[in-house]
Amino acid sequence: MTYQPHGDHLIAGQRIGTEARWTSSPAHGPVHAFSTGSPALVAQACAAAEAAFWSFGYTARAERAALLNAIADAIEARGAQITEIGTQESGLPAARLEGERGRTTGQLRLFAEHILKGDYLDRRHDPAQPDRQPAPRPDMRMIQRPIGPVAVFGASNFPLAFSVAGGDTAAALAAGCPVVVKGHSAHPGTGEIVAEAIAEAIASQGMDPGVFSLVQGGKRDVGEALVQDPRIRAVGFTGSLGGGRALFDLCAARPDPIPFFGELGSVNPMFLLPHALANRGATIAQNWAGSLTMGAGQFCTNPGIAVLIDGADATDFIATASAALAKVGPQVMLTDGIADAYRQGRDRVRAGTGVTEVLTSACDLRTATPYLFEVSGDAWLENHALGEEVFGPLGLVVRARDAEQVAQIARSLQGQLTCTLHLDPEDSGFARRLLPILERKAGRVLANGFPTGVEVADSMVHGGPYPASTNFGHTSVGTLSIRRFLRPVCYQNMPTDLLPVDLG
The residues annotated with a catalytic role in the active site are 263, 300
250 or 400: whose CB is closer to ligand NAP? 250
Q: Which of 33, 43, 142, 246 binds ligand NAP (CB under 6 A)?
A: 246
Considering the rule CB under 6 A, would residue 185 count as an interface residue with ligand NAP? yes
- With CA atoms as reference, report the closest residue to 147 among 256, 74, 38: 256
Considering the rule CB under 6 A, would residue 369 count as an interface residue with ligand NAP? no
Helix (H) / strand (E) element for 16: namely strand 14-16
Q: What is the C-alpha separation between 493 and 479, in angstroms, rounded?
A: 31
83 or 302: whose CB is closer to ligand NAP? 302
229 or 389: whose CB is closer to ligand NAP? 389
Q: Residue 477 Cβ, how far from ligand NAP at the closest point, in Å? A: 7
Considering the rule CB under 6 A, would residue 157 count as an interface residue with ligand NAP? yes
Considering the rule CB under 6 A, would residue 162 count as an interface residue with ligand NAP? yes
Q: What is the C-alpha separation between 77 and 182, in angstroms, rounded?
A: 24
Q: Residue 217 Cβ, how far from ligand NAP at the closest point, in Å? A: 4
Using CB under 6 A, which residues numbered 380 to 409 contact ligand NAP?
389, 391
| Strand 212-215 versus strand 9-11 pairing type | antiparallel
Q: What is the C-alpha separation between 65 and 72, in angstroms, rounded?
A: 11
- Angle of helix 94-117 relative to helix 167-175, nearest 10 degrees, comes to 20
223 or 274: whose CB is closer to ligand NAP? 223
Q: Which of 22, 34, 53, 153 binds ligand NAP (CB under 6 A)?
A: 153
Tell me the torsion sign for CA atoms 390, 484, 43, 15. positive
259 or 377: whose CB is closer to ligand NAP? 259
Q: Of the listed pieces 30-38, 243-251, 312-320, 486-494, which binds ligand NAP according to CB under 6 A? A: 243-251
Rounded to the nearest angstrom, the gap between the alpha carbon of residue 118 and the centroid of all alpha carbons in its chain is 25
* 155, 163 Cβ separation under 8 angstroms: yes
Q: Of the listed pieces 21-29, 198-206, 242-250, 320-328, which binds ligand NAP according to CB under 6 A? A: 242-250
Q: Residue 403 Cβ, how far from ligand NAP at the closest point, in Å? A: 30
Q: Residue 207 Cβ, how far from ligand NAP at the closest point, in Å? A: 26
220 or 401: whose CB is closer to ligand NAP? 220
Looking at this protein, which amino acid is placed at residue 292? L
Compute how many residues bind ligand NAP; rule: CB under 6 A.
29
Letters for 211-230 (x = contact with ligand NAP by CB under 6 A, - = none) are ------x--x--xx------
Q: Of the listed pieces 181-189, 195-203, 286-294, 370-378, which binds ligand NAP according to CB under 6 A? A: 181-189
Please, what is the Cα angle at 142 between 139 and 148, to 5 degrees?
140
Q: What is the C-alpha separation between 244 and 467, in angstroms, rounded?
A: 10
Using left for φ > 0, alpha for ψ between -120 and 50, and beta otherwise, residue 36 falls in beta
Radius of gyration of the chain from its Cα atoms, rounded to whole angstroms: 24
Q: Residue 151 Cβ, how far from ligand NAP at the closest point, in Å? A: 11
Letters for 281-300 (x = contact with ligand NAP by CB under 6 A, - = none) are -------------------x
Q: What is the C-alpha separation between 53 and 202, in angstroms, rounded?
A: 13
Considering the rule CB under 6 A, would residue 176 count as an interface residue with ligand NAP? no
Q: Which residue is nearest to ligand NAP (CB)?
A: 243
Q: What is the C-alpha separation between 318 and 359, in angstroms, rounded?
A: 10
Q: Residue 127 Cβ, how far from ligand NAP at the closest point, in Å? A: 42
Using CB under 6 A, which residues numbered 325 to 354 contact ligand NAP?
338
Considering the rule CB under 6 A, would residue 155 count as an interface residue with ligand NAP? yes
Using CB under 6 A, which residues numbered 435 to 494 contact ligand NAP?
462, 476
Letters for 99-138 (x = contact with ligand NAP by CB under 6 A, - = none) are ----------------------------------------
Considering the rule CB under 6 A, would residue 39 count as an interface residue with ligand NAP? no
- With CA atoms as reference, report the closest residue to 468 among 391, 416, 419: 416
Give me the sheet containing 442-447, strands edge to edge.
356-359, 371-376, 394-400, 305-309, 270-272, 416-422, 442-447
Residue 424: CB atoms within 10 A of its CB come to 16
CA distances from 263 to 161, 234, 245, 306, 483 (A): 14, 14, 10, 22, 15
Q: Residue 470 Cβ, how far from ligand NAP at the closest point, in Å? A: 10
Looking at this protein, which amino acid is placed at residue 294? M
- With CA atoms as reference, report the closest residue to 425 among 305, 275, 277: 275
97 or 201: whose CB is closer to ligand NAP? 97
Q: What is the C-alpha separation between 261 and 108, in angstroms, rounded?
A: 19
Q: Of the listed pieces 41-49, 193-201, 236-244, 427-435, which binds ligand NAP according to CB under 6 A? A: 236-244
Please, what is the Cα angle at 475 between 470 and 481, to 5 degrees?
125
Q: Which of 42, 264, 267, 308 binds ligand NAP (CB under 6 A)?
A: 264
Applying CB under 6 A, the residues found at the interface with ligand NAP are 153, 155-158, 162, 182, 184-185, 217, 220, 223-224, 238-240, 243, 246-247, 263-265, 300, 338, 389, 391, 417, 462, 476
